[in-house]
Amino acid sequence: MPDMSASANLAMTHAATLAKELDENKVTPGVLGFLVFAALAVGVWFLMKSMNRHMGQIDFEEAPDPKAEQSPRTSGA
């Protein structure tokens, strides 16, 4: 039975040491998190640039509404 308490004691000591090393105030996303965020930002920038280019190519001219033209003529007569 002494082996179990010794291994449990060792596990608790190791867990306490690991908890001390992992300080919640010092945990950061790191370089990988920054690279992922930067890639997403560049992707959004390219998508916005492409959208602006495609929207600039659209030549939209709204057709006049036939009901809107008839209403003033009939109400004035």
If you average pLDDT over every residue of the chain, what do you get? Answer: 78
| CA-atom Rg of the chain in angstroms | 34
Does residue 71 have a pLDDT over 60? no
Taking residues 24-51, what's their average pLDDT?
A: 93
Q: Residue 54 — pLDDT band, cuts 50, 70, 90? A: very high
Q: Please, which contacts does 30-35 make with residues 24 or more away whose CB atoms are closer than 8 Å?
A: none
- Residue that is written with structure tokens 């690279």 in the block: 35
Q: How many CB atoms within 10 Å of residue 19?
A: 10
- Residue that is written with structure tokens 């004691």 in the block: 9
